[in-house]
Chain A
Amino acid sequence: MHVKAVLLIAAASGGLFYALGRYGHEQLVSPEFQAVVRTAFAQGKPPAEKPQPEVELAQTPRPPAGAPGQPSPPPVVDESALRYFATQGDTRRLEAEMARLRALYPEWKPPTDLTAPVSTGDPELARMWSLFGEGKFSEARAAIAQRSTADPNWQPPPDLVQQLDTAEAAQRLVNASNARQWEQVIRIGTETPALLTCANVDALWRVADAFVQTKRADRARDAYSYVLTNCPNPADRLATMQKALLALPEEMTIALLGQERSGEFSSIRDDLARRHIGKAAEEPSLSATPEEIARIEALAGAASTPDDATLLGFYALRHNDPAKATTWFKTSLARNGGAKAAEGAVLALSAARDHQQAEELGSQWLQAEAANRKAYLDAATSLIAQDPPPRLDPTVLGRIAKTVSAERYASGASGLGWYAYNSGQTAAAKTWFETALAWDRGLEQAAYGLALTRQRLRDQAGLRELVAEWGPRSRRIADILRPGARQAPLSRPETPRPDAEPPAIASREPLPLTRREAVARAEETRPVERSADRAPERAAAQSPRVRVAGGTCGGGGTGAAALARGWCLLNLKRPAAAAEAFEAALRTGSAAVVQDAAAGKVYAQLQQGLTADAIASATLAPIAPARRQDMTALLLSERFYALYDAKNYNAALVTLEERARYAPETTDLMMLRGWSYFNLGRYGDARKVFRALYRANGSAQAQSGLAAIDDVMRINRY
């Protein structure tokens, strides 16, 4: 050890010895704790510093310390403080003084007539004690100085001086502690051992706090442990543990719990369990023990307060038990758990896929906290993004739209766009997608939605503009105008392999994925565009096509007129109206018109998303054989997609085989064939398909399929 350091410790020890000599061998503070404080004191100083003794400001000469090693005569015990405290009824100080005198004079017996008035026959001294008792320490000092001046032979009783020193030190310690002067707090504690007793637990706490603040937790632990070892007052003991719980590393707190007497720290154990549950509720990779859960569940069950229920709710929510979470949050709400419980309940209902209830509950807490609005918006977005879109009451849709607008929540606006798009409300979809992009210029899912909407609206200029802007960033947007790439299933691989390719959209985006994919796919493969492409030919060949700007498709009662209106409406993406027109044509038209109208009705139903109805129509309708083959392939594609989405890969593959009889397999279907094999664990077959696709057109998606297979094989090997 460095010489300086040795000297430092020696000097500090000397200072303490002096302090002990001054006050007698004080036993109220354990030697261990004194050593702890001393060491800390020594360590707390920069090495270059000379240790400074505490300001020695006693205002009268000190009584000489007893010479060590000499036999002492029976001590004359100064009982004036004792008697004073007794007459004042100051039991706390009385006990401390009693203990102090006992430690100082082991043979001393406390007097029995303690409450007899102090009979010093010295009214001035009595006044000094009185000032002291009233906490007027400055005035007591002044009185001592005054009398010392008047009578140079007079000495204040050592007891009074000692009491004043301690009381002033206590005040300094509080002031230093309040001013966050931690080294000073520790210094005062070190140099005033008489202060660190059970009679003044607050001083012990403040010294412990100073140790905590100066990153000496083990010293703080010793201080708390001192209280638990020596001090009997239950309130002090519990408060000590509460402070330790907040201030110390957990293993130290748990070790201190070993000093528990008859279950006094049950509430601390509760708090520890709550802390663990709370941490695990924030960090799902952590978990609380079953005992801890059971402990707090029992408390929550018996309580009429909401907090534990809320805590348990969040724990269950983050640990994949949304049903249990919902129950706890509802309990909490019933106990006036407020916004936090409501937020939890909305999240839990959402997680349990009860989006409707989540939206309903969340809508009642929109005025509460930002977190409540956030939870509501997520729930509402999940609700509208469901596949198929749920039938929603206009008031529900209205308040979702209102809240999305008020919060300028881009994902919500995009969700409303998709909801509108999927419900055939193209104009509304356009507005919502545009709104979403206005709020978040980088929101790809909205840009994609808008691109599809513009395509549906045949706004070629707008579409090209969007593709020019987004193409470099989003493959699927670029692909809209890239004829060869149209068949690629733009985001399909994300379903089986969410990490195979970085998704172009925020990962926390809720369900629109599948729906959007379905839409994208439909846009690529459904006959809408194709029929539109062919429409001019057909119009030229068969019936006068009436192209009317402004979205009306003419009138006319004839079958040919109805048929023309049907195609026109279909081009305008008004499939329901188109279906009606085709119905009219079917009822009234010629055989040729009827054949064409039957096909039109199937397309219209497909455009409406009514696949089953379309299949029924196709089966029943008098469709021309050539067209029927085309249509059957289309319908089988639809069936395949539905089976694939339902993860029924075997049946999906069977459907693909059936479809192959009517039409060659498109690239996107081949890709999905590969993924179907992949999902069935048929990696060899999947590899063949992906490799063929990769060779054919260097598809990045085929490549990611191959990579996915490699990953799986590697994982399987280990």
Chain B
Amino acid sequence: MIRALATFVAAMLALAMALPAQATVPAEAWQLYREKFVMPDGRVVDDANGNISHSESQGYGLLLAYLAGDRTTFARILAFTRTELLIRDDGLAAWRWDPGASPHITDINNASDGDLLIAYALARAGSGWNMPSYTAAARQLARSLAKVGLLKRKGETWLMPGAQGFGEKERADGPVVNPSYWIFEAFPVLAQLTEDGSWLQVQATGLKLLDAVAKTKTPPADWLSVKAEPKPAEGFPAQFSYNAIRIPLYLLRAGHAEPGRFAPIRSAWSSGTATIDVRSGRAVEQLPDPGYRILAASIACALDGTAIPAELKTFEPTAYYPSTLHLLALSLLTERYPRCM
């Protein structure tokens, strides 16, 4: 069993590692992003959110720096991340850093997608740039997250959104998960790195969850109760919103391009990218930023070969979040769908 797993992982990794460690984020685009969102001290700023930083922004910054081949900025962002966020007892990152607060950490809780992004970026950089210390750090972070953030329940392995607050005992409708925290491309890498098959189980559970939701012909809500059949979690808007809109990007980046999974999302976005009320299927808020529009365009191009509109191929930084998604999408298209560029 272990050998089979190892063989599988090795095969997955061979695919990932076979790709040259060359930039898939265009240099000019990365420079614009960096100048706008990365501070000299390595802090990645969420400018639409009170200029705070979080483990997610630091993780995206690291991943984009790696994808842009920018070792200097990677080192800069990592120094900040490590000194300021990676201070929890369990080795995970505190999720929220506020420049206006003292101390700057205003919430010591972790956010699993931030931890996952940091670990994954470190793992990619460690192998891509031959930096054993990055690899070692990635391994340790992944192990900590596996210990604290994974919930094995009824044959499934869930990635919990945080170490605290979402479990069966903590919420009436627990466990509650956020399907957009499944950064699918990270799982095989972490499984290989830590020799821990749990990460592949997380991947399988995530895909199964998305397939189950897709069968109901609705796009997935940001927060789902998976206590029984998945349904929107109590206390969160039942919306396919700013969290969940990343899901198709993550699926495509990881090569999980089965069209059925995308159908309800494509249908909801048929008249433009928007946040969606999953119960009525109606748009709640239009998302005209190119960083969001390129998500729909990427699905269309990846699945149907529809050309990407030219204005989306060039990058102009807007706000931190859509700009980040924009660069990740450009990287996706460059790496996996060069015909789309």
Chain A residues with a Cβ under 8 A of chain B:
52-53, 55-59, 61, 136-139, 141-146, 148-149, 168, 171-172, 175-176, 178-184
B161 surroundings in chain A (CB, below 8 A): none
Q: B132 an interface residue at 8 Å Cβ cutoff?
A: yes
Which residue of chain A lies nearest to B107 when distances are taken between CB atoms in the complex? A179
A53→B139 CA distance, assembly (Å): 11
Partner of B78, one of A136, A141, A176, A180: A141
> For window 126-141 of chain B, which residues contact chain A by CB distance below 8 Å?
131-134, 136-137, 140-141
| Interface stretch of the complex, out of B85-93, B305-313, B320-328 | B85-93
Q: B40 an interface residue at 8 Å Cβ cutoff?
A: yes
- A-B contacts, 21 listed (Cβ < 8 Å): A53-B136, A55-B91, A55-B136, A56-B136, A138-B42, A138-B76, A138-B83, A141-B78, A141-B79, A142-B72, A146-B75, A168-B82, A172-B83, A175-B103, A175-B104, A178-B103, A179-B94, A181-B108, A182-B89, A183-B89, A184-B89
B103 surroundings in chain A (CB, below 8 A): 175, 178-179
A55 touches B72 (CB 8 A): no
Partner of B72, one of A56, A149, A181: A149
B88 surroundings in chain A (CB, below 8 A): 176, 179, 181, 184
A145→B86 CA distance, assembly (Å): 21
Partner of A139, one of B76, B78, B105, B131: B76
Q: How far is the CB of B180 from chain A (nearest CB, A)?
A: 26
B71 touches A57 (CB 8 A): no
Partner of B87, one of A56, A61, A148, A179: A179
A148 surroundings in chain B (CB, below 8 A): 71
Q: B143 an interface residue at 8 Å Cβ cutoff?
A: yes
A178 touches B42 (CB 8 A): no
Q: B84 an interface residue at 8 Å Cβ cutoff?
A: yes
Q: B55 an interface residue at 8 Å Cβ cutoff?
A: no
Chain B residues with a Cβ under 8 A of chain A:
40-42, 71-80, 82-84, 86-89, 91, 94, 103-105, 108, 131-134, 136-137, 140-141, 143-144
Q: From known contacts A136-B40, A138-B40, infer whether A55 and B75 are also in contact, taking CB-CB under 8 Å.
A: no
Q: From known contacts A53-B140, A55-B137, A57-B133, infer whether A137 and B74 are also in contact, taking CB-CB under 8 Å.
A: no
A142→B65 CA distance, assembly (Å): 12
B82 touches A55 (CB 8 A): yes
**Beyond A176-B88, A179-B87, 14 additional pairs, beta carbon < 8 A:** A55-B82, A55-B91, A57-B134, A59-B79, A61-B132, A61-B133, A138-B76, A138-B80, A142-B76, A146-B72, A175-B103, A175-B104, A181-B87, A184-B88
Q: How far is the CB of B237 from chain A (nearest CB, A)?
A: 30
A55→B82 CA distance, assembly (Å): 9
B131 surroundings in chain A (CB, below 8 A): 59
A139→B41 CA distance, assembly (Å): 6
Q: Give the one of A55, A136, A171, A180 with max B CB within 10 A.
A: A55
B105 touches A142 (CB 8 A): no
B76 surroundings in chain A (CB, below 8 A): 138-139, 141-142, 145
B72 surroundings in chain A (CB, below 8 A): 142-143, 145-146, 149
A199→B82 CA distance, assembly (Å): 23
B144 surroundings in chain A (CB, below 8 A): 52
Q: How far is the CB of A277 from chain B (nearest CB, A)?
A: 37
A138 touches B105 (CB 8 A): no
Q: From known contacts A172-B82, A178-B103, A181-B87, infer whether A142 and B73 are also in contact, taking CB-CB under 8 Å.
A: yes
Which residue of chain B lies nearest to A146 when distances are taken between CB atoms in the complex? B72
A145 touches B75 (CB 8 A): yes
Which residue of chain B lies nearest to A170 when distances are taken between CB atoms in the complex? B83
A52→B23 CA distance, assembly (Å): 33
B78 touches A57 (CB 8 A): yes
A61 surroundings in chain B (CB, below 8 A): 132-133
A182→B89 CA distance, assembly (Å): 7
A55→B141 CA distance, assembly (Å): 8
A59 touches B132 (CB 8 A): no
A184 touches B87 (CB 8 A): yes
A59 touches B94 (CB 8 A): no
A141 touches B75 (CB 8 A): yes
Partner of A55, one of B79, B86, B104: B86
A172 touches B42 (CB 8 A): no
Which residue of chain B lies nearest to A180 when distances are taken between CB atoms in the complex? B108
Which residue of chain B lies nearest to A168 when distances are taken between CB atoms in the complex? B83
B84 touches A175 (CB 8 A): yes
A187→B89 CA distance, assembly (Å): 9
Q: How far is the CB of A648 from chain B (nearest CB, A)?
A: 73
B83 surroundings in chain A (CB, below 8 A): 137-138, 168, 171-172, 175
A179 surroundings in chain B (CB, below 8 A): 87-88, 94, 103, 105, 108
B78 surroundings in chain A (CB, below 8 A): 57, 59, 141
A637→B132 CA distance, assembly (Å): 104
A632→B111 CA distance, assembly (Å): 94
Which residue of chain B lies nearest to A62 when distances are taken between CB atoms in the complex? B133
A479→B79 CA distance, assembly (Å): 86
Q: Give the one of A58, A138, A175 with max B CB within 10 A.
A: A138
A56 touches B133 (CB 8 A): yes
A168 surroundings in chain B (CB, below 8 A): 79, 82-83
Q: How far is the CB of B120 from chain A (nearest CB, A)?
A: 15
A52→B89 CA distance, assembly (Å): 12
Which residue of chain B lies nearest to A214 when distances are taken between CB atoms in the complex? B89
* The 4 residue pairs across chains A and B that have the minimum distance between CB atoms: A145-B75, A138-B79, A142-B76, A178-B103
Q: How far is the CB of B4 from chain A (nearest CB, A)?
A: 25
Q: How far is the CB of A73 from chain B (nearest CB, A)?
A: 28
Q: From known contacts A59-B75, A138-B80, A145-B75, infer whether A176 and B140 are also in contact, taking CB-CB under 8 Å.
A: no
A175 touches B74 (CB 8 A): no
A175 surroundings in chain B (CB, below 8 A): 83-84, 87, 103-105
A148→B76 CA distance, assembly (Å): 14
Q: How far is the CB of A15 from chain B (nearest CB, A)?
A: 12
A53 surroundings in chain B (CB, below 8 A): 136, 140
Which residue of chain A lies nearest to B138 when distances are taken between CB atoms in the complex? A55
Q: How far is the CB of B272 from chain A (nearest CB, A)?
A: 40
A53→B89 CA distance, assembly (Å): 13
B133 touches A58 (CB 8 A): yes
B105 surroundings in chain A (CB, below 8 A): 175, 178-179
B71 touches A149 (CB 8 A): yes
Which residue of chain B lies nearest to A50 when distances are taken between CB atoms in the complex? B143
Q: How far is the CB of A100 from chain B (nearest CB, A)?
A: 21
Q: How far is the CB of A179 from chain B (nearest CB, A)?
A: 5
Which residue of chain B lies nearest to A188 when distances are taken between CB atoms in the complex? B87
Q: From known contacts A139-B41, A176-B87, infer whether A57 and B137 are also in contact, taking CB-CB under 8 Å.
A: yes
Q: From known contacts A53-B140, A136-B41, A178-B105, infer whether A142 and B89 are also in contact, taking CB-CB under 8 Å.
A: no
A326→B228 CA distance, assembly (Å): 72
A178→B75 CA distance, assembly (Å): 25
A493→B91 CA distance, assembly (Å): 71
A143→B74 CA distance, assembly (Å): 11
Q: How far is the CB of A51 from chain B (nearest CB, A)?
A: 11
A142 surroundings in chain B (CB, below 8 A): 42, 72-73, 75-76, 79
Which residue of chain A lies nearest to B86 when distances are taken between CB atoms in the complex? A55
B133 touches A145 (CB 8 A): no
A141 surroundings in chain B (CB, below 8 A): 42, 75-76, 78-79
Q: How far is the CB of A40 from chain B (nearest CB, A)?
A: 14
Which residue of chain A lies nearest to B143 when distances are taken between CB atoms in the complex? A52
A172→B82 CA distance, assembly (Å): 8
Q: How far is the CB of B88 from chain A (nearest CB, A)?
A: 6
B71 touches A172 (CB 8 A): no
A350→B67 CA distance, assembly (Å): 81
A146 surroundings in chain B (CB, below 8 A): 71-72, 75
A171→B88 CA distance, assembly (Å): 14
A58→B42 CA distance, assembly (Å): 16
Q: How far is the CB of B129 from chain A (nearest CB, A)?
A: 9
A176 surroundings in chain B (CB, below 8 A): 87-88
A138→B75 CA distance, assembly (Å): 7
A141→B140 CA distance, assembly (Å): 21
A688→B68 CA distance, assembly (Å): 108
Which residue of chain B lies nearest to A171 when distances are taken between CB atoms in the complex? B83
A149→B71 CA distance, assembly (Å): 7
A175→B93 CA distance, assembly (Å): 12
